[in-house]
């Protein structure tokens, strides 16, 4: 095989962002780097002798269904970058940090939204389906906010069911993601549910955030390096 050969990837990313008041700093980091994200990812992959064939990004911004009602969850379609750079930037800049109520937020519902995204199914290149979660809060159990009038249909009925969504083999009927392609990056407190996911789900890397700290310890370059490593890693490996 030629030394010039470079593995080529189609990458889908879903950013699950806690949009409550304490997360202003992390949100500003995402906003200020939105336009450069595609170029930075492409460059860093080339440094690892990998090629970025396509990049799509979707945003899920979450709060608390019972406290924030219709503002509890903001979701977008996938943006294809760099073609949709301006729309992606407008979407992230529209997210304002507020609300949340009690300490836990509805992060598991946000994760469920992300898992059931309309992922790229084209088999012509290596696929990566990556979810990145940013939060400084623990999460309610699934269904905690089900009494809210705008609580969505189609949510998993339990944490076990959500875990099964993640663990499904690609040939399983109704599988949401491809096991070989799926990756989860958690910037979340070492709290129940987040810790359980980190300890028990495959293809997960967890960077514990400081509870209530707004993810202020996060650095854009470190986040970018983690995402690149999640692209080039093989299923079942830590990265």
For residues 184-188, give the mean pLDDT: 96
- Please check whether residue 16 is in contact with residue 134, taking contact to mean a CB–CB distance below 8 angstroms: yes
pLDDT at residue 79 tops 90: yes
Identify the sign of the CA torsion 164, 166, 168, 174: positive
Residue 189 scores a pLDDT above 60: yes
pLDDT digits (tens, 9 = 90+) for 199-210: 999 999 999 987
Q: Which residues pair with 147 in a beta bridge?
A: none
CA-based max dimension of the chain? 59
Residue 175 confidence (pLDDT) above 90: no
Q: Is residue 108 one of the residues assigned to a domain?
A: yes
- Domain of 105 in residue numbering reads as 7-232
Coil, helix or strand at residue 113: helix
* Average of per-residue pLDDT across 117-146: 92
Specify if 143 maps to a domain.
yes
> CATH number for the domain including 69?
3.40.50.410
pLDDT exceeds cutoff 70 at 180: yes
87 occurs within a structural domain:
yes
Does the model's pTM come out above 0.85? Answer: yes
Q: Is residue 105 part of a domain?
A: yes
Query: Is residue 117 one of the residues assigned to a domain?
Result: yes
Whether 182 is covered by a domain: the verdict is yes
Q: Is residue 1 part of a domain?
A: no
Q: What's the domain count of the chain?
A: 1
- Mean pLDDT for 46-57 is 95
Q: Please check whether residue 174 lies inside any domain of the structure.
A: yes
Confidence tier at 2 by pLDDT (50, 70, 90): very low
| pLDDT band of 211, cuts 50, 70, 90 | confident
Q: Is the pLDDT of residue 236 over 60?
A: yes
> What's the chain's average pLDDT?
90
**Mean predicted confidence (pLDDT) in 3-9:** 73
């Amino acid at each position: 095989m030629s030394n010039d050969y470079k593995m080529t990837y189609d990458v889908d990313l879903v950013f699950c962002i806690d949009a409550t008041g304490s997360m202003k700093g992390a949100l500003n980091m995402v906003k200020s780097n939105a336009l450069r994200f595609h170029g930075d990812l492409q460059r860093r992959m080339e440094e690892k002798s990998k090629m970025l064939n396509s990049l799509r990004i979707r945003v899920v911004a979450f709060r608390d269904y019972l406290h924030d009602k219709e503002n509890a969850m903001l979701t977008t379609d996938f943006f294809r970058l760099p073609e949709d750079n301006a729309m992606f930037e407008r979407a992230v800049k529209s997210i304002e940090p507020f609300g949340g109520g009690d300490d836990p937020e509805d992060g598991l519902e946000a994760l469920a939204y992300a898992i059931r995204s309309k992922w790229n199914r084209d088999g012509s290149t290596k696929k990566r389906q990556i979810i990145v979660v940013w939060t400084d809060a623990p999460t309610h159990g699934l269904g905690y906010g089900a009494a809210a009038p705008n609580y969505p249909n189609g949510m998993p009925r339990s944490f076990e069911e959500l875990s099964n969504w993640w663990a499904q083999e690609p040939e399983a009927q109704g599988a949401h993601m491809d096991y070989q392609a799926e990756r989860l990056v958690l910037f979340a407190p070492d709290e129940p549910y987040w810790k359980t996911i980190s300890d028990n789900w495959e293809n997960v890397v967890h960077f514990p955030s400081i509870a209530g700290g707004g993810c202020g310890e996060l650095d854009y370059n470190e986040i970018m390096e983690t995402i690149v490593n999640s692209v080039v890693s093989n299923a079942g490996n830590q990265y």
